[in-house]
Amino acid sequence: MRVDKWLWAARFFKTRSLASEEIQKGRVKINDIPAKPAKDVKLGDILHLRQGAYFKTVVVEGLNPTRGSASVAQLMYTETPESVALREAQALAHKTSREPALSIEHGRPTKKQRRNIDLVQHDWNDRWSASVD
């Protein structure tokens, strides 16, 4: 079974074309070898893939050429314990990290403040001119 079709059937990606794009970008490996969309996947293969910001390592447990319900799709693979621990650590780090927007204390400048900033940074008499004088 093709790996792009398997990833779609196992519900890792919404469409086969999205699965193919991720494979072509090098974000999917089969047994530590970069995959191509037409590469066959077999029972017992280990897939390393990136789904969003998270990395997953799964073992192929079943081959189903049709996309079924989520409960059926979960039977097609098992995630390794190391992958689960890494994903949970990444989720915790993301949850506890500080939001970058919170470092802005005063927000956007008003129109008047913007004009004052421009006056301080640019003296209108010092601007470049094409005139000879």
Query: What total of structural domains would you count in the chain?
Result: 1
Q: What pLDDT does residue 106 have? A: 75
Q: Domain of residue 32: give its range.
A: 3-96
Residue 133 lies in a domain: no
Q: What pLDDT does residue 114 have? A: 86
The residue whose two tokens read 């094409």 is 130
Give 63-113 pLDDT, tens digit per residue: 988 898 999 999 999 999 999 999 999 989 888 887 777 777 777 888 998
Residue 43 has pLDDT above 70, yes or no: yes
Residue 30 has pLDDT above 90, yes or no: yes
Looking at residue 10, which CATH number applies to its domain?
A: 3.10.290.10
Give 112-124 pLDDT, tens digit per residue: 988 888 777 665 5
> Cα separation of 82 and 56, whole Å?
9
Residue 76 lies in a domain: yes
